[in-house]
Structure 1
Amino acid sequence: MQENSSINEDHLLLKHFYDEDLYNDSDEYGLDIITLRYTLLTIQSDKELLMQYIRTIPIDLKKKKLWKSDYTKVELREDFNKLKFECDNLKIETSLLKTNYLELIDHCKFLIDQTTEIIIERDNYYSEWEHARNILTPRPDWDKCSYLITQWKILSIGKTSEQLVDVLINEIIHEDTKENNNEDFSIMINNKNDLNSKNTFFEQLCIDISFEDKFIKNRHMRRRITGLLIKEIWSNKLFDENKFEKKINIKLIDYVFNYLIKRFHSKEIAIEIGYNIKDACNRYQNNYEINLFWQILTGQIEENVYHYEMKEFARILQYLIKLCSHSSSQSLLWTIRWSDLVTALHELYPYWTNKRISYLIMAAERDLQQSSKERNDLEFLLLFTEDDEGHIGEFLMNIRQQLQLDKTEYIEKIKDLLIGYPLVSINQFKQVVQLVDPNISKNELQRYVNWVFELEKMSLTLNKEEISSKTNENNQLIKPIQKRNFEEIILRLERCSCFMH
């Protein structure tokens, strides 16, 4: 019965496929009923085939689901053996590390026990030492006396503590009356080993041979005496330079020794004071004024550094005096307003920022021990005074620092333009300075060149050796100074009085 129905359905289907009229028949909704029925029959038959295929698969494979991806990844036997070998080695190394770790733990515990025992033993020794120190009389360390008494080791041989005390008291009492043979310099007058023979001042200290085999007494000049002597030298030098109608420039190196001879009326005393100045300047290097004087005297710093600083201090003072309403010469305590001081600093240094000016005002307040807000008058002359030791106040020290800051900025601008040249010629140096400072005069520019390239020293050398300017030897001597190392130029500039004009 079923076979007959299927045959009839196939027959009808073929009839529809080959009969265009039947094939185009459709229901009221426009659907081809026969084609739709055939499609449903085809889906049903595919479903039955799939079910039959699933029934043929074994039950074990269905549970394990090996039929999905049974051989998706396969490893070679050789690779497997290598991995197994590496795994075995790692296991062996792990076991060794565990063994070493356990041994280290044992050693650590042993060291901890030993340290604990040592600490306990140390505490016991310390307790015994404290007990012994409290019950026993300490013996003084007599060897310390050898620092004060040179012959102490000889005097203390075979003496008891009481006798050593008597010796010490006797030495202290007679210390002032005994002659001290160590009050002389170890440098003899005619010995030039420790002196710079190129420096005129030191050459003058060694010119007199009549004092041969004599030593120079060390006076151990104090800082205040040294400062006063240096100030006296500066003031007399300025006076001697300005006493003629035509001002002459005398170098400090050439002036000091002649002034000492004139001051003490003796060349021998002048030599002695010269060596004492050298000793005092070396001992008081932390003092700005003394150290500056010594560096100028030895040619390390240009002399104009000192003069420029003093001129700036004088310029500020003169400007404040002009602002003072009480301009009578009989008045010793001229006063101005605090606002006038701020205005004056801004006018004198227009490129200084408000922050830099405020530092100066605070320094002035500390010098005068008063606030700019409390009082409206300012005794500005007190800002330019010195104490007994020759130290200036914080206001002038801040002025000095601000000037040094300007100098550093000025040199940095020159440095930025010269940094690409390992050797700098005189012409290159002049061009760079004129670019940085267009208002600089020819004399000032030449002063820079003379100091940086040491032209004056070279000219003195040529004069001493009496070399003609037309000879080849002279050209060979002058040629090295035509160009100079970049680092040397910057170093010489830092020791020169250079500023924006």
Structure 2
Amino acid sequence: MANPETHYRSFSKSRTRTQSSGGTAEAKDVERRKLSQKRRTLPLQLSIGGHLSPWPTYTSGQTILHKRKPCSEDRRSRTNSWQQQPLGTSKPRYLEQLENYLRKELLLLDLGTDSAQELRLQPYREIFEFFIEDFKTYKPLLSSIKNAYEVMLAHQREKIRALEPLKAKIVTMNEDCSERILAMRAEERYEISSLKKEKMNLLKLIDKKNEEKISLQSEVTKLRKSLAAEYLRYLTERDARKILIGDLNELRYQREDMSLAQSPGVWGEDPVKLTLALKMTRQDLTRTQMELNTMKANFGDVVPRRDFEMQEKTNMDLQEQLESLRADYEEVRKEHEMLLQLHMSTLKERDQFHFELQEIQRTSTPRPDWTKCEGIIVGGPERWLMLAEGKNSDQLVDVLLEEIGSGLLREKDFFPGLGFGESVPSFLRFDGSVENKKPSKKEVVNLLEDAWKERLAEEQKESFQDFFFNFLERRFGISDAIAWAYTIFENIKLFRSSEIMSQFYAVLMGKMTESVYINQRETLSHLLKEMTNVDTQNEGLITMEQFSTIIKNTFPLKKEEQIQELMDAAGWGPDSSSVEVFNYQILFTEDEEGQSEPFVQKLWEQYNSEKEAYLQELKQDLGLDLQDEVTLLKVRGALMNNDPSLDKQTLSAYLSQAFQIPVAELPLEDEEKQEEIVVKLETVLEQLRMADTKRVGPREPEPAS
């Protein structure tokens, strides 16, 4: 009997040669033949006496064999041989040799190649073949199991081979699509930049054309006036000439008649002949007079050539002097305009300084010692310095009143109910004592911000007061809603320096419409969006030129002084010209008490000042006092004259707000009904001041006289 180790080495060498041959059909046939030889030899060598060992259950099997009836001598001798074996539980030699063979086969495999997993199955196939050959009874079942697994492995292998090209194709398509997307994005960025440049060029061209149009209109007006004056002069001269010619002819006829009457020889002539001669003479005189008039008309203005040349030379000299004087005049006019602008700015600064001087004189006599407040304010000197930073005396008084009022408000445990009167707001109608919830300022600000978010998210069908009370009911329940309503009302009425509290109080009490707050938020979000679009690198940084361009495009009606004020508030003043970029996102942040940055505060101040200037211009156009009554027709005409760019929808909204009439009920097509609607001018201006009233376009300049 051959040694198993020798047979194992020979079989490993044959398998290695088979693997190196690249998996051809001849190598597979050789492998099958060697495997069949191994099947015939190995089981016989590894078996113990030609029989399979029942390990690890041979001890228990020994008891079972004692109880069974032997069927033959062979069975009896086999049982006796088992009984003579030791009672240990060591593995059978056949199992150990199979495990050693499997372990050596696996060690010989090269697991670094792609086909390592496929080759790893080969030793297991061989072991399974040994079991099939040894277990003759179960050989058909085990063969069918092996064949089923082989068929499934072959099927899966074919599927993998079929999907490999598809995988490579998907990778290639993914790379192509990524390149196309990058190219399209680059093309879009280039197109956007080119369109922005074209937009700026077109805006400059429009401004230039508008200036040319204004200058041409002024020239046309002057030429029309001069043409009308020349036309009147020529008409007057023609009529006077005709009258003079008639008078001259009449005097000539009278003189001839008188000469004929005084001539002594006339009486002796034939009257018929004399009459005929007189008639012919008059016809000749008329023809001669007509020729004379024609000659005078054609050559009356003709002058001698010498005089003409002299006058022409004089005219050229005067023309040159006129051109030089005109150039000097233009320079002087420009200097005059610059001086006027400088004078106006100086006047404004003088008025502002005068007003500040008056305020200082009024508030600084005597000068209060604000350091005395350090011991009264909660938080000590550090908190007082933080509150008083950058504030004047008037503002410090407000801060001191807020601090004193907040202390008194915290000491209150209950608020007295205001009852159910009509003058009491709907969310405060209650009889009895109401608990003071004593929230912090930060909690009140957070609650107001949540209320605004919910108000802007829903459809605005109910009034703001009803919405506020319903919001408190949803947040704190029906039992605590009235207590929170009184608590928040007292807080927002006290803290007027907080923007969000003062705005919420104004809207809640009907002193300001919701559209003002909504317009402010939309303007800030639009500014942030424009700055984000300019920030192509998503670094949160933009340059001064980009910031200035965005401000001018967003607010085209603002003056250069206002643009500079906004840039100063953003931290880009004349002293910070060396700074190239800055973080624009910090301009729109708020502190924990809802206080915004100086840039947003300056925007709000300019908005209020522009609204007040717009209403003052409207009052000047109407030319009435505040207590005078004004009709809807006059207000409509004044709005259209003051702001010609107003569209019909905005004009209707302004008129509806001013006269408190729904838009659908405005008689815009009936002037008689517009004359019947009369309201005091003070009421009209106050209603417009409450709403989001602002100029839509520039006011048209008055034509030059």
- TM-score, structure 1 as length reference: 0.51
- Aligned partner of 1:19 in structure 2 is none
1:387 aligns with 2:615: no
Structure 1 residue runs of 5 or longer lacking an equivalent are: 1-179, 242-247, 328-332, 460-477
> SS of the residue aligned with 1:455?
coil
- Aligned partner of 1:187 in structure 2 is 417
The equivalent position to 2:423 in structure 1, one of 187, 193, 196, is 196
- Aligned partner of 2:387 in structure 1 is none
- Aligned partner of 1:124 in structure 2 is none
- Mapped partners of 1:181, 1:344: distance in 2: 49
Bigger radius of gyration among the two = 2
Equivalent positions of 1:251-270 (< 5 A) are: 251-264=463-476, 266-270=477-481
- Mapped partners of 1:278, 1:438: distance in 2: 42
1:289 aligns with 2:289: no
The equivalent position to 1:402 in structure 2, one of 587, 602, 606, is 606
Cα distance change on mapping 1:250 and 1:323 into 2, 3 Å: farther
1:343 aligns with 2:549: yes
Spell out, residue by residue over 1:253-306, the C-alpha distance to the aligned partner (whole angstroms, 9 max, x if none). 331111111122x22211111111211122112323212211111112222111
- Aligned partner of 1:485 in structure 2 is 680
Letter in 2 for 1:350: P
> SS of the residue aligned with 1:185?
strand
Equivalent positions of 1:424-439 (< 5 A) are: 424-439=630-645
Equivalent positions of 1:23-422 (< 5 A) are: 182-187=412-417, 191-192=419-420, 196-197=423-424, 202-206=425-429, 214-241=432-459, 251-264=463-476, 266-327=477-538, 333-365=539-571, 372-420=576-624, 422=628
- Mapped partners of 1:372, 1:235: distance in 2: 37
- Aligned partner of 1:447 in structure 2 is 653
- Aligned partner of 1:143 in structure 2 is none
- Mapped partners of 1:249, 1:257: distance in 2: 14
User: Does the 8 A contact of 1:338 with 1:372 survive in 2?
Assistant: no
How many residue pairs match? The answer is: 277
- Mapped partners of 1:405, 1:415: distance in 2: 15
Offset at residue 493 of structure 1 (A): 2.0
Cα distance change on mapping 1:236 and 1:480 into 2, 3 Å: farther
Letter in 1 for 2:487: N
- Mapped partners of 1:276, 1:285: distance in 2: 15
Offset at residue 499 of structure 1 (A): 0.7
Offset at residue 435 of structure 1 (A): 1.9
> SS of the residue aligned with 2:558?
coil
- Mapped partners of 1:479, 1:285: distance in 2: 40
Letter in 1 for 2:636: K
Cα distance change on mapping 1:409 and 1:182 into 2, 3 Å: closer
**Higher share of residues assigned helix:** 2
Spell out, residue by residue over 1:165-208, the C-alpha distance to the aligned partner (whole angstroms, 9 max, x if none). xxxxxxxxxxxxxxx995111226xx135x724xxxx324437x
Letter in 2 for 1:237: R
What is the identity percentage for the equivalent residue pairs of Structure 1 and Structure 2? Answer: 19
User: Does the 8 A contact of 1:425 with 1:484 survive in 2?
Assistant: yes
Spell out, residue by residue over 1:441-466, the C-alpha distance to the aligned partner (whole angstroms, 9 max, x if none). 33322322232222369x9xxxxxxx
Letter in 2 for 1:359: E
Cα distance change on mapping 1:221 and 1:448 into 2, 3 Å: farther
Offset at residue 424 of structure 1 (A): 1.0
Cα distance change on mapping 1:299 and 1:481 into 2, 3 Å: farther
Higher normalized contact order (CA 8 Å, seq sep 6+, divided by chain length): 1
- Mapped partners of 1:401, 1:417: distance in 2: 25
Letter in 1 for 2:614: Y
- Mapped partners of 1:370, 1:236: distance in 2: 42
User: Does the 8 A contact of 2:614 with 2:695 survive in 1?
Assistant: yes
- Mapped partners of 2:587, 2:412: distance in 1: 43
What is the RMSD of the two structures over their aligned residues, measured on CA atoms? 3.0
> SS of the residue aligned with 2:692?
coil
User: Does the 8 A contact of 1:419 with 1:486 survive in 2?
Assistant: no
> SS of the residue aligned with 1:405?
helix
- Mapped partners of 2:676, 2:659: distance in 1: 6
Offset at residue 481 of structure 1 (A): 9.3
- Mapped partners of 2:601, 2:457: distance in 1: 25
Letter in 2 for 1:382: I
Letter in 2 for 1:238: L
- Aligned partner of 2:28 in structure 1 is none
Letter in 2 for 1:363: A
Offset at residue 237 of structure 1 (A): 1.0
- Mapped partners of 2:689, 2:576: distance in 1: 36
Letter in 2 for 1:206: R
Cα distance change on mapping 1:204 and 1:253 into 2, 3 Å: closer
User: Does the 8 A contact of 1:220 with 1:280 survive in 2?
Assistant: no
Cα distance change on mapping 1:223 and 1:419 into 2, 3 Å: farther
- Mapped partners of 1:251, 1:375: distance in 2: 48
Spell out, residue by residue over 1:375-409, the C-alpha distance to the aligned partner (whole angstroms, 9 max, x if none). 32221011100012111011111111222222122
Letter in 2 for 1:192: F
User: Does the 8 A contact of 2:535 with 2:541 survive in 1?
Assistant: yes
User: Does the 8 A contact of 1:222 with 1:280 survive in 2?
Assistant: no
Spell out, residue by residue over 1:402-425, the C-alpha distance to the aligned partner (whole angstroms, 9 max, x if none). 222221221122111123372112
Offset at residue 233 of structure 1 (A): 0.6
> SS of the residue aligned with 1:299?
coil
Offset at residue 480 of structure 1 (A): 12
Letter in 2 for 1:305: V
Structure 2 residue runs of 5 or longer lacking an equivalent are: 1-409, 666-672, 697-705
- Mapped partners of 1:285, 1:347: distance in 2: 33
